[in-house]
Each structure stands twice: as C-alpha cells, then as structure tokens.
Amino acid sequence: MKYTNKSKLIAGALILVIGSSLWLSKDYLTKGNAFPNLPRVEQTVNTTEDYLADFDYAYEVLKETYPYFEVNKIKSGVDWLANKDKYRAEIAKSKSTSDFYNRMNLILEDLHNGHTQLIDEKIGFNMYMLMKSYQIKPEDKFYYYREQEIEQFEAPKVRARYNINNESIKKALENGNKKDFLNNIVNNGNLGNVLVGDIKNDIGYIKINAMQTDMGIEEDKKTILPYLEKIKDYKALVIDLRGNGGGDESYYLRFLYPSLMDKPYSTKRYLFIKSDFFKNRIENRYNKLDKKILESFKFSSETNDLIKDFKYYMTYDTNLEPNDDSIKFKGKIYLLVDRGVYSAAESMASFSKESGFATLIGERTGGDGIAENPRIVALDKTGYMMRYSYSLGTTESGSVNELEQTTPHIVCNPDTRGALIDQPCIQEVLRLEE
C-alpha cells in the first residue's frame, strides 16, 4: 500500500484497537491450540450473480447499521442509499474478482469515510494474524465481537481469499512476529515513528507518525521518555500529529499523556448505534435511546436530527491521571493538527481540546475518532471482508465528530514542507511564546 495521503489515513485506521487484552509473545501463537486446523482452500471462480449477491448483502448491512448516511449527505451531497440501482449496474460490469474489489471500493468511497472499505488480501491476512496474537478473555467487553470476526476470517471462502491456511500461518510465524504483522498493515517499515528535538532552548518538539500499539509503544518509549526527562522544565512542548492517520488510542491514553500531565484530565462522549444487528456488541454495554433521553442531552437541533432514528446509546468517560513516572509538565502544550489526523489520532486531538490539555494549531482534522472500533463482516460469495464504521460519536456538547471533526483553537496553514523552523504552525508557536 503506497503512502498517499488517503492510503496513509486508511492504513492507520486499519490498526486493530483490541482494548484491555493482553499482549502475548510469538510463543503463544506457536502453541498447538492457538490455531485450528486450517487446510488450504482454493479460490472459486465467481460469477456476475456472485458479485451482485455480495453487493446486495453489503448494501443491506450498511442500510441497517451504518451511522453516517445523513452526515454524508451534508458533507458531500451524496445520497448513497438512493444510488443502489446505479451501484448495482456498476457491479454487474465486474469482469473478475479483482475488478469487483476495485468497483466495490469505489462505490464505498462515495461514503467518504476512511474506515469503510473492502480489506486488501495481504492486509487481511496480517489482520487475522494480529487478532490471533491477542488473548481476549470472555469477561472482556471486546470478546464476543472479536471472536466473531476471527471466526469469519476462518470461514472457507474467506480463508481462500486471504490465503489463511496451515502452511501460510507456519511460514508467517517462521519469518515474523506480531510487530511485523502490524507493520505489514500500516506499511510503516523502518521509517521510524517518532522524532524528538528542541525547536529552541526551552521549546521541545515530538513528532508522532502513527498511533502505535504494544510493541510499537515500547519501542517509542526508548526515544520519548528520555526526551521528556530532558525537557521537564521547558516552557513549552509541541506535539506534531500532522498526517497521523490513527492506530491505537492507547498510545496517548496509557502512555504519552499520563507520562506528561501534572493533574487529572477528563472528557465525556456519547456513542450511538442504529441497530441491534450484532447483538453481542450491544448487550450489557448500550442503553435504549428514546426521545426523552435524547432531549436530556440538550444537543443542538441539528445533532438531534442526525441521531433521532438511532436505537441505542452509551456514555463513555475518559479519565486520565499522571502515572508514577510522569514528568508533571507545567509548561504550555501545543498540538499540531491537519486534515490527515484521523481515527485514533483524531481521538487524541478531540480529547486534547475538550479536556483543555493542549492548544490545537493547524487546520480542521479528519474526524471519525471518538466512536467505537469499526465492524468487519464477510461477503459470502467472494470471501472479501468489508470493514465499516458502526457507531456515531459526539462530544459532551453534542458535536458530531465525523461531521464537524475537531477545529483547532488557532487556525493556520499546516504545510509541512521546508525546514521545521520555517513552517507556519511552528512560527505560530514561536509567536505565542515570545
């Protein structure tokens, strides 16, 4: 996957956010019970009827559960559901399974959502391996739907599509580990995820390219923690998120911010879903939504119109405190953002603004960062997995993140070309710190 702005955003969004599960070493994966017996399954030749059946199923799933149709109308003027006949006609032209994949993703692009696409074959295999590298216990809130997604990957036609079998798994385990599976998803290679250095003698700088998980966090700690110790008495710190397409919000929730903050910070957000299509994702987590409850939130009429037909909601509180080794930074913190900030990076931007943790500088972000993890469903005929946004997130005040994203406190040109010291956002920081 090449690193265009759009593909970088999607790649970042594809990192799996497992939640409170435990990271396990490769030893766990090589145990006999880590994988079921998965003989090789040959791909079948698909027909036009197969392509249309998969489109129809995807359409019905999205119609019932996708949260952003009305947002998409406002943002782009596209009435996706009304285009069904046009889209079916396009799918009917598919000359091969790969052609179907390309046409289907072009159709899904009309939703203008970076979390919604058919999953590429190489990425799908690595997603499966990454899922299997976690042990999720039945009491974990993510257990049921993550297990369902693993089961879908292990269905015969999906295994054929993504080359998931005893031989490919054995080869992958011989040649790589969990970090490799993650890097194969985000295509981060050996570029390095963080950069640290001083802008001036008393203004620090940290650049973060992706919201790493587990082993990536441990690797980044080697660079970031010694630098934080060095700058603990500086008057300001710049955290540069520009172009960060997301990943795992644990990066800032469990590592970066608790290592910096000098006092607790908190935010509240609301999540809304349309349907109980996937019951195990709702039980014991969501509450039924009615008109009276919706009115109690005191959202704007525009927000109420967007979520009035949703059936369920939950309140999600984020409470962060300094960890034992925090430098308890008392200087000013600036967060640089642009439209490339998406998914988990968007979550970080939203938290930073809503809690007052940092001053945001740049342009409006990319959005879709304060909802739940996207859902994955298998298309029965071709075996492709479709990933899509499942819940709509709002701030405590009712700002719909996918529609309004996060507007920085100070708007300026987020251009990253040229020397860092000459970039407009950095110049704005220097002006503020004069």
DSSP characters over 27-38: HHHTSTTSS---
- Give pLDDT, residue 372: 84
Instruction: Tell whether the torsion through CA atoms of 404, 410, 411 and 412 is positive or negative.
Output: negative
pLDDT band at 192 (very low <50, low <70, confident <90, very high): confident
Nearest to 356 by CA among 386, 332, 377: 332
Query: Given strand 287-288, what is the order of strands in its sheet?
Result: 287-288, 312-320, 265-273, 392-395
- Give pLDDT, residue 14: 47
pLDDT band at 298 (very low <50, low <70, confident <90, very high): very high
| Strand partners for 392 | 272
Q: What is the mean pLDDT of residues 343-354?
A: 96
Q: Provide the total of helices (H) and of strands (E) in the chain, helices listed first.
A: 19, 15
Q: What is the mean pLDDT of residues 19-41?
A: 59
Is a pLDDT exceeding 60 seen at residue 27?
no
Compute the radius of gyration of the chain from its Cα atoms.
22
Most confident of 12-26, 273-287, 416-430: 416-430
Is a pLDDT exceeding 50 seen at residue 28?
no
Contacts of 347 (CB under 8 A, 6+ apart): 246, 249, 252, 369, 370
- Give pLDDT, residue 6: 46
Return the minimum-mean-pLDDT range out of 132-146, 314-328, 418-432.
Answer: 132-146
35, 11, 209, 390 alpha-carbon torsion, rounded to 10°: -90
- Find the DSSP H helices in 66-83: 69-76
User: Backbone phi, then psi, for 199, in 5-degree steps?
Assistant: -80, -45
Higher-confidence residue of 148 and 421: namely: 421
Return the minimum-mean-pLDDT range out of 54-68, 132-146, 327-341.
Answer: 132-146
- Give pLDDT, residue 279: 62
Q: What is the mean pLDDT of residues 41-68?
A: 96
CB of 57 closer than 8 Å to CB of 166: no
**DSSP one-letter string for 140-206:** STTHHHHHHHHHHHTSHHHHHHHT-SHHHHHHHHHH--HHHHHHHHHT-TTS-SEEEEEEETTEEEE
pLDDT > 90 in the chain, percent: 71
Structure confidence by residue, pLDDT tens digits, 68-97 = 999 999 999 999 999 999 999 999 999 999
- Give pLDDT, residue 39: 93
- Give pLDDT, residue 251: 95
Domains observed in the chain: 48-186 (1.20.920), 194-275+311-367+405-433 (3.90.226.10)
CB-count exposure of residue 138 (10 Å: 0-12, 13-18, 19+) = exposed
- Give pLDDT, residue 34: 73
Structure confidence by residue, pLDDT tens digits, 130-186 = 888 765 555 555 555 677 888 999 999 999 999 999 999 988 888 765 555 555 555
Return the minimum-mean-pLDDT range out of 53-57, 156-160, 238-242, 282-286.
Answer: 282-286
Distance, C-alpha 386 to centroid of its chain: 15
Average pLDDT of the chain? 87
Per-residue tokens: 208: 């973060």
Distance, C-alpha 77 to centroid of its chain: 24
Name the pTM for this structure: 0.87
Inter-CA distances, 335 with 28, 42, 161, 346, Å: 38, 49, 41, 11
- Give pLDDT, residue 214: 78
- Give pLDDT, residue 103: 98
Inter-CA distances, 302 with 116, 121, 295, 400, Å: 24, 40, 12, 10
- Give pLDDT, residue 26: 47
